[in-house]
Chain A
Amino acid sequence: MTESFEPKITAFVCNWCTYAGADLTGTSRINYQSNVRVLRVPCTGRIDFMLLMKAFQKGSDGVIVSGCHPNDCHYTSGNYHARRRWMVYKDLMDFMGVDTNRVTFSWVSAAEGARWAQLVNEVTDNIRNLGPYAEYKALAVAGIE
């Protein structure tokens, strides 16, 4: 790990809860680390596991996936479907030896501005400690000419 390592964090968030929650972080002027890049989707139900694969391919050191708390989904059940998908995908990643510490699944509601800041900071610090996701990056280097 180099002194100057700054992790690259990609966040997939739903429009109605976590994106709005992150907006509230802004309106509340709660400062957090700037490593994260947020991609907005309508619902966690839309988050194909392949999007996570692609985020790692592009050199993300950590990925955040976040949406509405159970029972709060704008579309009533998208997050429940997402939860099942993650439960299996996380198992499978672990089975294939992918570092599941690199992915953080979370529920952040539109009212949890402070929680979003805390989540991003914790994940950023955690990934900074883990260092670059060299294993996966090596694949990408080997893979993409």
Chain B
Amino acid sequence: MEALKQKAKELLQKGDVKAVLGYAVGTGNVRRPHFARTPEQVDRLVLDEKCTQNLATYLTKHEVKHLGKVAVVALPATQRALLQLVAERQLRDDAICLLAMDGTEVKVLPSGAAVEQHLALKTDAMPTADKAMIEKLMAMTREQRWAYWQQELSRCVKCYACRNSCPMCYCEHCTMDCNRPQWVPVASHALGNLEYHMVRAMHLAGRCVECGECGRACPVGIPVHLLTFFAEESTAKQFGQRAGHSTKLDYALSTFKPDDKETFIR
């Protein structure tokens, strides 16, 4: 922790970055994002197992971009999100500065290439609980799955927390905001909820970095992250392309192979 603070202070003092984005203790002992712009503010940084939020989400926001270069305390999922954001041209490679933990050592990753290399050391799979849940759902009958999701989604109030917390949902104009035509009904009712979550999952297929932030952000506890996890896994399984592993764009749904194999097209 002290090493991290030390590095953060160094970066600020040298003027390499304008701010360090990390975690601090918030109300009720939760971990909240914290922008440290002075060495004093750095002292409030914490990093422990309670820090789970994917901070990459903030980097595409106008307000943060206006700050200048920001160093980010980056968990593996955050690192992946940053790579994907560079691939999707939402961040410039030279705007990247990551503080990543490698055991007890703090590493400064100053470029996409450095992140790629660092990430290559780790195979960060989906949490086993989520994997098990997806398997459990797939073992159900189709009707049971329908009932499960209808039950779950009935609690959705369409607050869009899942969307807003997602590092890859950076669009300024979301399909949900589209009203000519009004693709998806605005109100939170059975049809609109199903459609919203289906669209969100499709838009993240091949792009989801599997941080699970959307699921954690949901105020009514719907496991919405399972949808994007599933879509990403389906894409990866079928096409062998994965999000968040390279600064070079390799999006499965805008590329193809003539011999892609499916079994259902008649």
Residues of A whose CB lies within 8 Å of any CB of B are 49-50, 53-54, 57, 70-71, 77, 80-81, 83-100, 104-107, 119, 135, 138-140, 142-144
Contact = CB atoms under 8 A, between A and B. Distances in A.
A81 B191 contact: no
18 contacts: A49-B202, A53-B195, A80-B258, A84-B238, A84-B253, A84-B260, A87-B234, A88-B235, A92-B201, A92-B230, A92-B234, A94-B142, A96-B227, A97-B143, A97-B149, A105-B266, A106-B266, A107-B266
B64 interface: no
A71 B259 CA distance: 10
B239 A84 contact: yes
Contact of B231 (A86, A92, A106, A144): A92
Nearest to A101: B142
A22 to B, nearest CB: 15
Secondary structure class of chain B's binding surface, majority of residues? helix
Contacts, number: 119
A103 B211 CA distance: 32
Interface in B160-217: 175, 183-185, 187, 189-192, 194-195, 197-199, 201-202, 205-206
B28 to A, nearest CB: 34
B253 A88 contact: yes
Nearest to B226: A95
- Residue of A71, A84, A86 contacting most chain B CB atoms (<10 Å): A84
B259 to A, nearest CB: 8
Nearest to B252: A84
A97 B185 contact: no
A87 B262 contact: yes
Instruction: Identify which of A92, A94, A107, A138 gathers the most chain B CB atoms within 10 Å of its CB.
Output: A92
A80 B139 CA distance: 30
Nearest to B138: A95
A139 to B, nearest CB: 4
Contacts of B197: 96
Nearest to B256: A80
B202 A83 contact: no
Contacts of B262: 83, 86-87
B92 interface: no
Contacts of B198: 53, 92-93, 96
Contact of B189 (A88, A99, A143): A143
